[in-house]
Amino acid sequence: MDGILLVDKPSGITSNYLVQKVKKHFQSLIGKTVKVGHTGTLDFFATGLMVLTIGKATRFTEYFQGLDKEYVAKGYLGKITDTYDIQGEVVEEKDCNIGKEKLKNIILSFKKEYLQYPPPYSAKRVNGKRAYQLAKKGITPNLKPKKVKIYDIQIINIDLPIFEIKIFCSSGTYIRSLIKEIGDLAGCGAYTVALKRTKIDSFSIDMAVSLDELLEKDLEAIKRLIIPLDKSLPFIPQITLDEGFDKRFITGQRFKIPFDTFGIVKVFSKDGKFLGLGKVNEEKLLKPEKVIV
């Protein structure tokens, strides 16, 4: 059981709780502990796509991070909460007299690259502590803005004071912050009432299984859902080594290759066996990074 599993996280649980539930289910089916990890958290109230790494795939978690994502979110105008979402306490309330057309223009103006401040209730570290730990103590964390990119933003529906949008964005974008920023430009603030992650790179929510369904499946059914490691990194280019070079790769040797591919690559033997990941420098020298054979 080595590969990735796409799961649709329900609202009302943490990402870690979901991982532990899956891990316990696997253990009950197999009779031994199976390594299970995830490639990026979702907020407690949020739903949607999570990529779980299973078995040897847990060693490859870092390569699934930093991928572009798609979300569907609902914002509520006229109120600001301390967490920027439905879980928090209302800290400010204003009348909102904005019209639909003006709100549409504000929303669409966020299709850009800009510096975004993370929410105070976030996992960002400030002087060695998580921002949310400071916020819970009443301390305003000194958070630095991060460059994010909104590749596309679409309006699904506006029924004031609620608006619903779809966002395709770079990794590290906080949708809670985006909703608040839209509210700030509207002159009355806003907070996130619903959030669903629908895509991570080429992985879609349509490919995912719900947690409840997963916990009802037997081992053979689960194995059919797991995407093998060699097929779970479609965003990384691949190379095939000539006979003899596969042994050099799996023993950790560096050697030159006749390819024009640079950076991280998937490495296969001539007979189609996935050997792991390597890194190619400008001199076409291949260095083994993660070997699984």
Check pLDDT > 80 for residue 127: no
pLDDT of residue 162: 98
What is the DSSP code (8-state) at residue 116? E
Out of 43, 95, 212, 230, pick the active-site residue.
43
pLDDT of residue 133: 82
> CB count, 10 Å around CB of 252?
9
- SS3 of residue 264 by DSSP: strand
Exposed, middle or buried: residue 172 (CB in 10 Å: 0-12, 13-18, 19+)?
middle
Q: Is the full-model pTM beyond 0.85? A: yes
**By the 8 A CB rule, do 136 and 122 touch?**
no
Check pLDDT > 80 for residue 293: no
**By the 8 A CB rule, do 253 and 52 touch?**
no
Chain segment 50-103, per-residue pLDDT in tens: 999 999 999 999 999 999 999 999 999 999 999 999 999 999 999 999 999 999
* Domain 69-200 class in CATH: alpha beta
The helix (H) or strand (E) run that includes residue 191 is strand 190-200
pLDDT of residue 175: 98
The yes-or-no answer to whether 3-67+203-231 and 69-200 have a common fold is no
Average pLDDT, the chain: 94
- SS3 of residue 230 by DSSP: helix
**By the 8 A CB rule, do 168 and 151 touch?**
yes
Domain ranges of the chain: 3-67+203-231, 69-200, 238-291
pLDDT of residue 68: 98
- What are the C-alpha distances in Å from 150 to residues 69, 108, 122? 10, 10, 20
Q: In terms of Cα–Cα distance, which of 175, 211, 212 is closest to 194?
A: 175
CATH 3.40.50 is the classification of domain 3-67+203-231: no
pLDDT of residue 130: 85
Check pLDDT > 90 for residue 135: no
Check pLDDT > 90 for residue 225: yes
Least confident of 93-107, 135-149, 190-204, 260-274: 135-149
Specify whether 43 is catalytic. Answer: yes
Q: Compute the average pLDDT of residues 219-235.
A: 94
pLDDT of residue 251: 94
**CATH number listed for the domain at residues 238-291:** 2.30.130.10
Chain segment 238-287, per-residue pLDDT in tens: 999 998 899 999 999 999 999 888 999 999 999 999 999 999 999 999 99
Using the structure block, give the residue that is written with the tokens 């798609």: 70
pLDDT of residue 224: 96
Q: In terms of Cα–Cα distance, which of 164, 194, 192 is closest to 179?
A: 192
Chain segment 146-186, per-residue pLDDT in tens: 999 999 999 999 999 999 999 999 999 999 999 999 999 99
pLDDT of residue 288: 96
